[in-house]
Structure 1
């Protein structure tokens, strides 16, 4: 029957009739049809909300209250001082002393010149490492297997390719051998034996309290080193068989307690609540990066397909838009939305070049805040607040905003810190890069449903300028100890480099004990990168760095940009050319939504941003995350 239909296909087409599309073709066509998206034609935002936002943006700042002398002339005319368009350092911030004034420009020029030379040297070093690895290591069958790994379009394909590469490189023997210096394998083996014995007893109706006690003692962050990054940096998939067995038996123990009739419902709730407090929670962090943020769709889609999408989601700048979409939709709606047709709703850059130039000359910003509010509201499901989104989907949305005052603290908006704040206003504020979008007033929804200025009408801007990944705040508010960071900032990805390999991407020569690019290449890369950071800190601490557009730009380099798991995409040159252009469904969203399995790494930086792989990972139960999300 199938072959008969194939023979009839061309005949029907010749007669002017169309062949019946296959199911696969129908599915592909649906992925590009915008009218299959839920609420595609719905404009959630109300006109009165936009008017309230426009009034808040143009509202004058209240002048301070001052006392006047009795003898002051009634109609005295005072010429107003000219206000600088971009404020510089205030009197309180300016250092005094003639030595500082004399040496300011010489020091600034010397340090900046040295930074430029170091940056050139760093790029040359990375080119040397790339050439070293591809000429000396990646050739023959090894190169074929790696190409198959990078061309995978699903986790299943990736896992098969990674397994084949591990077998070819001899990593399977390392998995079977339990001893390793970076974890206590004797304790893990002992706990495995005890868990196996107690699980057998629980099947017979006993030893439930002993099982609970044992689980409480071993479900902790980095228990005896089982989450050391080195354990996951020797292979392309998986880790020691002993560690994998430990995770599986812990999961079996938790399921045994959950399904036991010998433990009351209240005792189960108290037990798992204690484990959650002791163990911590997982958060998905989406970085900024202009249109590079559309790569986040691939990460969201992969985690959603694996049923591993965390309930806590944070986003900054472009990542805030994606995070808002995730936090205001259910899993079923996300499965329908995360397709190439979504590009038809991304129209933030639809205006022409001449209009952009006129607006920038008139207002100092390339884009219009009101137009962006209307475009953004669809992703945020209208004027939903953080509390309403949490009650709707159960997901915890966090959006970072930086105050226009350079010395005020960063605000992390969520249903606890700012429950009545409107999500789209926080997303706009988080994307307000100086010169691209003017600072934004956050909006609050009253009990009557009206929008009024939030936080006394203060204005906010791009959170990436100071806190791209707010890990400290997430730990304080939600006990987050494990973070999956999707990092797409184009100015940062170049500096992600693990000399001794990283989880899912080991050093592929000397059986994992070598250095990427050889010891010479790794030592040059590390020393130049640390020297770059040192000179940037000199500029910041000696207050030598100017403030273009009234902003201290040193933090876009010196803050922490990575998490427990850090994923970054394999970008192409066209991404930089289209960094402020709307994506097309076929060429952009479709490609960016499928890049998760192509390239990524994990690194663990210190507080100032320097990579230190010796720092430990932060999860046990979600080792499957480490085997899937880091592909």
Structure 2
């Protein structure tokens, strides 16, 4: 009996020991799971601070710490990578350094002309800009910097000396002075031709502003960041309400943009009284009776297509600022090219000066028109904005200013009743002078129903081969710009998201083609088209709007703001009551945060182009002083 009792005690002891071990294991793993779920690692804390930085200096500080923590700084120092031809870049860099050390301007100019490409050796590959938060390989940065230094060297090499300037005064005194002056002018023209041809072969960048009915003020943050970093393109392509922001920027020269951008929220807040008069303060307050709108209230605002008060106030401010400014006047004032894309649902117009094709099955009932200082120089910008917003009326919204300053509606009638327009050619400064007659066919001939036409037309007119696309639709951020995300989807996840995006866009296009897609839904997802064709957008990779995937060498950089507080909370912020200045500053900051991670790739792709633009403009002005 005692043996049985001993065995039972031993069995119970073993079972208790096993239970103790099991309990200890459970406690250990429960603590590990709790720690991993509740506590943030050092890198995740830095990423959180990075996403919530209030200025670029703060963002840069956290990005530097994060790169050091993740050993990205070591990756940047190593030149070798399978994503680009580092040997070619290194050889080109050494070639330029050696030529500059020997003071050989001819070798430098020949070397730049023969190999100055935006994507030389695949150095524009987006994979090279997703590892580090601050930049890319030091070799690429050194090469771009050295090209810029060589361009500056050529510019200084060709700067006129005081003695040569004095030759223009004593031009007829001696034959030797005359010969020196002729030789100098010939040299000036030679270098001017060099910068012109190099600039032409390199191509130009356009900033595309898409969307804006609710989150359009995010475009302000994108523009503000690019401008203060010296990376703002001089060509703007604006669609729908993006034209409101683009037109304001294109109406001011650089020296006036600094105070404008710094105090824009304060200036717009001064129009809050006009907003109250327009919407009716009592009515607006009744519609926003709570400081925290419910989801049903938000859906009601979206269905009724109501705009937030800060967006309406901004529209009023821009309208009062632009007044009857035309495309030509804006270009002459700011030297920026404003393109506004107008869509119209009319299948045909009464004018016989143009015709509409039917090549695109998904836009057979709409036509596309591109307005700028070349195609519509005397068109009032604000009327073009209204035409871009109104797809039902489209071209009927346009107004034209005559030589006397009178603004009249633009009407397309029969040929015998049309105004006869003769657009003046550009002068040697690239500006157009006003004429008291206008050529209606100058911009009606650009009408087409192919959604890729606006970007094809802009490429033809302004030699654009690279786009920076700002899309003010944060709710689409998970589907967009996958290839340029530092934290984000790579490998099979990126492929899965692209497939979802393609399928989603395809089904929406089908519904829209059969007129089954509600206008409210279309307003949020399908009212714009991305650049396509040769630029590596849309049709080249499936034709979907906002599609960034496919290859990593495509010629665009897509900037999409993300909701820092989550989808629902930030949607509530849109319709929540609050100070207009604070709300404008908030959405501007969201746009700035979305642009900071893109600065490295934008700089690598555009810094050489902008330096060529500056040098060519200065050389042209300097040459004009000798004639």
Pair in the same fold by TM > 0.5: yes
Q: Is 1:389 matched with 2:389?
A: no
Instruction: Return 5+ residue gaps in structure 2 as ranges.
Output: 1-34, 160-183, 287-303, 348-364, 414-439, 529-543, 549-554, 599-603, 612-627
1:369-408 to structure 2, matched below 5 A, reads: 375=316, 378=319, 380-405=321-346, 407-408=365-366
Structure 2 partner of 1:95: none
Structure 2 partner of 1:245: 142
CA distance in structure 1 between the partners assigned to 2:130 and 2:91 by the alignment: 24
Q: Which residue of the other structure, out of 147, 151, 155, is the alignment partner of 1:258?
A: 155
1:409 Cα deviation (Å)?
2.8
Q: Is 1:196 matched with 2:97?
A: yes
Structure 1 partner of 2:295: none
CA contact (8 A) 1:288 1:320 kept: no
CA distance in structure 1 between the partners assigned to 2:115 and 2:54 by the alignment: 36
**SS of residue in 2 equivalent to 1:178:** coil
CA distance in structure 2 between the partners assigned to 1:493 and 1:376 by the alignment: 29
1:247 Cα deviation (Å)?
0.8
* Aligned-pair Cα RMSD in Å: 4.2
Aligned residues: 448
Q: Which residue of the other structure, out of 151, 162, 170, is the alignment partner of 2:52?
A: 151
1:334 Cα deviation (Å)?
2.5
Task: Provide closer, same or farther for how the CA distance between residues 317 and 530 of structure 1 changes in structure 2, counting only shifts above 3 A.
Answer: closer
CA distance in structure 1 between the partners assigned to 2:397 and 2:313 by the alignment: 13
Cα deviation per residue 1:257-295 (whole Å; 9 max; x = unaligned)? Answer: 111048822122111111111011122222122131111
1:331-350 to structure 2, matched below 5 A, reads: 331-338=254-261, 339=263, 340-344=265-269, 345=271, 350=278
Q: Is 1:413 matched with 2:357?
A: no
CA distance in structure 2 between the partners assigned to 1:404 and 1:452 by the alignment: 23
Task: Provide closer, same or farther for how the CA distance between residues 579 and 379 of structure 1 changes in structure 2, counting only shifts above 3 A.
Answer: farther
Deviates more, 1:171-180 or 1:147-156: 147-156
CA contact (8 A) 1:220 1:279 kept: yes
Q: Which residue of the other structure, out of 209, 220, 228, is the alignment partner of 2:117?
A: 220
1:153-172 to structure 2, matched below 5 A, reads: 153-172=54-73
CA distance in structure 2 between the partners assigned to 1:538 and 1:601 by the alignment: 36
Q: Which residue of the other structure, out of 532, 557, 561, is the alignment partner of 1:565?
A: 557
**SS of residue in 1 equivalent to 2:93:** helix
Rg: which structure is higher?
2
Structure 1 partner of 2:593: 598
1:445-460 to structure 2, matched below 5 A, reads: 445-456=401-412
1:246 Cα deviation (Å)?
0.9
**SS of residue in 2 equivalent to 1:291:** coil
1:223 Cα deviation (Å)?
1.0
CA distance in structure 1 between the partners assigned to 2:597 and 2:138 by the alignment: 21
Q: Which residue of the other structure, out of 441, 460, 463, is the alignment partner of 2:397?
A: 441
CA distance in structure 1 between the partners assigned to 2:107 and 2:119 by the alignment: 22
CA distance in structure 2 between the partners assigned to 1:169 and 1:551 by the alignment: 41
CA distance in structure 1 between the partners assigned to 2:560 and 2:506 by the alignment: 25
Cα deviation per residue 1:426-484 (whole Å; 9 max; x = unaligned)? Answer: 111222266xx9985200111221112225179x9xx9x99699533322221112222
CA contact (8 A) 1:365 1:438 kept: no
Cα deviation per residue 1:173-195 (whole Å; 9 max; x = unaligned)? Answer: 21111121121111111111111
Q: Please state which structure has a larger fraction of its residues in helix.
A: 2
CA contact (8 A) 1:400 1:468 kept: no
Deviates more, 1:488-497 or 1:146-155: 488-497
Cα deviation per residue 1:276-328 (whole Å; 9 max; x = unaligned)? Answer: 11011122222122131111111222222223322212222221111111011
CA contact (8 A) 2:75 2:137 kept: yes
Structure 2 partner of 1:70: none
1:24-103 to structure 2, matched below 5 A, reads: none
**SS of residue in 2 equivalent to 1:566:** strand
CA distance in structure 1 between the partners assigned to 2:396 and 2:573 by the alignment: 25
Q: Is 1:485 matched with 2:469?
A: yes
Structure 2 partner of 1:472: 456
Q: Is 1:287 matched with 2:245?
A: no
CA contact (8 A) 1:183 1:224 kept: yes
Task: Provide closer, same or farther for how the CA distance between residues 570 and 450 of structure 1 changes in structure 2, counting only shifts above 3 A.
Answer: same
Q: Which residue of the other structure, out of 480, 484, 493, is the alignment partner of 1:502?
A: 484
Deviates more, 1:470-479 or 1:371-380: 371-380
What TM-score do you get using the length of structure 2 for normalisation?
0.62
Q: Which residue of the other structure, out of 527, 535, 538, is the alignment partner of 2:499?
A: 527
CA distance in structure 2 between the partners assigned to 1:623 and 1:393 by the alignment: 16
Cα deviation per residue 1:471-518 (whole Å; 9 max; x = unaligned)? Answer: 3332222111222222103564342152xx526x255xxxxxxx55x8
Task: Provide closer, same or farther for how the CA distance between residues 602 and 159 of structure 1 changes in structure 2, counting only shifts above 3 A.
Answer: closer
Deviates more, 1:145-154 or 1:396-405: 145-154
Structure 2 partner of 1:589: 584
CA distance in structure 1 between the partners assigned to 2:107 and 2:368 by the alignment: 46
Q: Which residue of the other structure, out of 144, 166, 182, is the alignment partner of 2:83?
A: 182
Q: Runs of at least 4 residues of structure 1 off by over 6 A?
A: 134-138, 353-357, 364-367, 371-374, 549-554, 580-583
Cα deviation per residue 1:82-137 (whole Å; 9 max; x = unaligned)? Answer: xxxxxxxxxxxxxxxxxxxxxxxxxxxxxxxxxxxxxxxxxxxxxxxxxxxx9789
CA distance in structure 2 between the partners assigned to 1:228 and 1:139 by the alignment: 32
CA contact (8 A) 1:385 1:423 kept: yes
Cα deviation per residue 1:3-43 (whole Å; 9 max; x = unaligned)? Answer: xxxxxxxxxxxxxxxxxxxxxxxxxxxxxxxxxxxxxxxxx
CA distance in structure 2 between the partners assigned to 1:327 and 1:141 by the alignment: 43
What TM-score do you get using the length of structure 1 for normalisation?
0.62
CA contact (8 A) 1:287 1:488 kept: yes
Deviates more, 1:472-481 or 1:375-384: 375-384
Task: Provide closer, same or farther for how the CA distance between residues 354 and 533 of structure 1 changes in structure 2, counting only shifts above 3 A.
Answer: same
Q: Which residue of the other structure, out of 546, 557, 571, is the alignment partner of 2:516?
A: 546
CA contact (8 A) 1:247 1:623 kept: no
Task: Provide closer, same or farther for how the CA distance between residues 324 and 493 of structure 1 changes in structure 2, counting only shifts above 3 A.
Answer: same
CA contact (8 A) 2:343 2:391 kept: no
CA contact (8 A) 1:373 1:424 kept: no
Structure 2 partner of 1:319: 242
Instruction: Return 5+ residue gaps in structure 1 as ranges.
Output: 1-133, 358-363, 508-514, 604-616, 625-631
